[in-house]
Amino acid sequence: MPSVLVVEDDPSIRQSLIEVLSEHGYAVRSAADGFSALREVTQTPVDAVVLDLGLPDLDGGDALRMIRGISSVPVLVATARDDESEIIKILNAGADDYLVKPFSGGQLVARLSAVLRRTSHVPPAGTGAVGAPVAAAAEPLRATVVGELAVDPGARTAYLAGRELRLTRREFDLLAFLAHHSGQVVSKRRLLTEVWREPYVDDQTVDVHLSSLRRKLGERAAAPRYLLTVRGVGIKLVAPR
């Protein structure tokens, strides 16, 4: 059964999309904003995403680019925006198809089925031959979303609130490692061993890179948001409260 993530902030439209897709045999999950969608995509892979552009927390175009930074999942944009330049921009940004509201349930299902055939080779729900093997959807790249921070080690990209962070190689390696172990306190010695792979380098090396990383995350050691220092133990990356 193909799985679909519906990203739509309007409750009535979201419910209608869920009902239509469920009736056609899709396993449907939903999100009402961009960052919830990113967490869904990274934590539980789906076969396709139906994405609205008018989201409350970030523009759907930015959400699309962030999804593309962490996953190859097929994305069908379903929105009221019908300007040709906007459609071209969204398709060039990585959307697999573009559907303008209002549209019928039949059109949505047909477009989604076509996208799945072209991309992941997952057959439309209810149409696969009995006993026929089903090709699995492409595995998304491993990535982590913590608050408004999205880190993709495969693509070596990091986004904060939709804005790509410009990091040095070592800064990215450090952030990716902490994101992978988000919520856990990591000692500086472990960072030197597993990120620098130089266990005998001075701890000040980590401090310098953490300080630079904090500036790029828009915080200070005295007023941390993502990078919390646990005195005498180490550092941990958390979602801001």
Q: Which residue has the tokens 């997952």?
A: 122
Residue 200: its pLDDT value, please?
Answer: 55
Section 85-100 average pLDDT? 85
What single letter denotes the amino acid at residue 237?
L
Cα gap 122→55, rounded to integer Å: 28
pLDDT at 60 over 70: yes
Residue 27: its pLDDT value, please?
Answer: 92
Residues 164-222 pLDDT 10s: 999 888 888 899 999 988 999 999 888 888 887 765 556 777 888 898 899 999 998 88
pTM over 0.85: no
CB 82 within 8 A of CB 36: no
On the question of a cis peptide bond just before residue 240, with omega within 30 degrees of 0, the verdict is: no
CB 70 within 8 A of CB 51: no
Query: What is the DSSP secondary-structure string of the chain?
Result: --EEEEE-S-HHHHHHHHHHHHHTT-EEEEESSHHHHHHHHHHS--SEEEE-S--SSS-HHHHHHHHHHH----EEEEES---HHHHHHHHHTT-SEEEESS--HHHHHHHHHHHHHHTT-PPPTT-SPTT---PPPPPPPP-EEETTEEEETTTTEEEETTEE----HHHHHHHHHHHHTTTS-B-HHHHIIIII--TTS-THHHHHHHHHHHHHTT-BTTB-SSEEEETTTEEEE----
pLDDT at 130 over 90: no
CB 178 within 8 A of CB 236: yes
pLDDT at 133 over 60: no
